[in-house]
């Protein structure tokens, strides 16, 4: 009877974890010390502008009053390492920056299928997706707005991955691997702060914006001005983001930086591509219903970062 009850308890725990969706063989959610949220003191001082009954709040331009404990306190990060990942063979880090009204489990993992698309790309990539504002109309980048904080985040990622997989060599590889930034929707804001202040500029080999340019055009233009010969840039966009993409295109023209319109065959060094989406493309479904059902996987297959020597 005791054995039966023990087995029943174990089965219940496994079932609970499965239903909660916080781990599987290739993907896990881990709590971080150096995550975008909760905010460190230097960021919190200017970010929170409401204090009521012991709760701190932030007046978001689009989301209204949002509270620290419900919106800005989730320090989890989604990590995906494919079963055939080989840290000894030029791995690449994919940093996925989600948009507004998102959670890692419901949206990034399940609805948008980001871990599955990174695995399907089969490019020896390690996925890192931090949680930003939880399920809110807010694009705040949190601690990533702090100088060199993103570098600390990547360092901790290496340590967390090593612990998760019980592999010290993995820690070394992640600390030195090249990075591709992938931003969706409001994730552009965090991407811009990473480029400006992240402290890992040399490691960023490419940027993919998935309907994710709604401001900060000058930041991306500056990054391209100094890096376009060695990096790649791709931006697809629906009608609401057309103005920002055209502004960036004009900024590039002013600096005589060439770019192409349309889908590239490959995302190579010194390639800048803009892809206007047709009117049937729906912003919220872009990750699974664009030019195909796995647009991120398709783009990652076009990259050659982990085949390039430094």
Which positions ≥6 away from 135 have C-beta within 8 Å? Answer: 71, 101, 102, 103
What is the reported pLDDT for 158? 97
Residue 133 lies in a domain: yes
Name the strand (E) or helix (H) holding 109: none
- Binned at pLDDT 50, 70 and 90, residue 306 comes out as low
Residue 289 lies in a domain: yes
- Binned at pLDDT 50, 70 and 90, residue 11 comes out as very low
What is the reported pLDDT for 23? 62
What is the reported pLDDT for 3? 39
Q: What pLDDT digit, counting tens, does each position of 221-257 carry?
A: 999 999 988 999 999 999 999 999 999 999 999 999 9
Structure tokens at 283: 């912003």
Average pLDDT on 136-155 reads 98
> What whole-number distance in Å separates Cα of residue 286 and Cα of residue 293?
9
Burial pattern 34-44, b for ≥16 Cβ within 10 A else e, equals bbbbbbeeebb
What is the reported pLDDT for 90? 82
> What whole-number distance in Å separates Cα of residue 242 and Cα of residue 246?
6
Residue 205 lies in a domain: yes
Q: Which long-range contacts (CB under 8 A, 24 or more apart) does 224-227 make?
A: 224/252, 224/257, 224/272, 225/255, 225/257, 227/201
Residue 68 lies in a domain: no
Which positions ≥6 away from 64 have C-beta within 8 Å? Answer: 137
Residue 225 lies in a domain: yes
Average pLDDT on 32-52 reads 97
Domain count, the chain: 1
Average pLDDT on 18-32 reads 74
- pTM of the complete model: 0.91
Residue 213 lies in a domain: yes
Residue 81 lies in a domain: yes
CATH number at residue 243: 3.40.50.1820
What is the reported pLDDT for 19? 36
Judge whether 128 and 96 are in contact, CB under 8 Å: yes
Range of the domain at 197: 26-35+75-307
> What whole-number distance in Å separates Cα of residue 214 and Cα of residue 217?
8
Q: What is the DSSP string of 290-304?
A: SSSS-HHHHHHHTB-
Residue 43 lies in a domain: no
């Amino acid at each position: 009877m005791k054995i039966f009850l023990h087995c029943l308890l174990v089965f219940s725990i496994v079932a609970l974890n499965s239903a909660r969706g916080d781990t599987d063989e290739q993907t896990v959610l881990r709590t971080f010390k150096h995550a975008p949220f909760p905010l460190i003191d230097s960021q919190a001082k200017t970010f929170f502008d409401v204090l009521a009954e012991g709760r701190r709040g932030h007046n978001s331009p689009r989301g209204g009053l949002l509270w620290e404990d419900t919106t800005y306190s989730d320090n989890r990060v989604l990590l995906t390492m494919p079963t055939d990942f080989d840290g000894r063979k030029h791995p690449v880090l994919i940093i996925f920056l989600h948009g507004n009204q998102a959670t890692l489990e419901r949206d990034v993992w399940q609805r948008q299928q980001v871990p599955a698309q990174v695995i399907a790309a089969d490019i020896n990539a390690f996925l890192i997706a931090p949680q930003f504002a939880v399920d809110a109309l807010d694009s705040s980048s949190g601690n990533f707005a702090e100088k060199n904080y993103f570098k600390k985040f990547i360092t901790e990622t290496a340590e967390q991955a090593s612990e998760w997989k019980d592999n010290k060599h993995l820690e070394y590889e992640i600390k030195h691997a090249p990075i591709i930034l992938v931003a969706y929707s409001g994730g552009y804001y965090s991407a811009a702060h990473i480029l400006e202040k992240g402290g890992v500029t040399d490691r960023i080999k490419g940027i993919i914006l998935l309907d994710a340019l709604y401001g900060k055009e000058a930041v991306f233009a500056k990054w391209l001005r100094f890096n376009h010969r060695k990096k790649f840039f791709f931006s697809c966009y629906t009608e609401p983001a057309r103005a920002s993409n055209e502004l960036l295109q004009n900024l590039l023209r002013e600096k005589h930086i060439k770019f192409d319109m349309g889908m590239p065959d490959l995302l190579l060094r010194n390639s800048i591509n803009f892809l206007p989406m047709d009117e049937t493309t729906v912003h919220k479904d872009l990750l699974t219903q664009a030019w195909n059902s796995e647009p991120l996987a398709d783009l990652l297959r076009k990259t050659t970062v982990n085949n390039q020597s430094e």
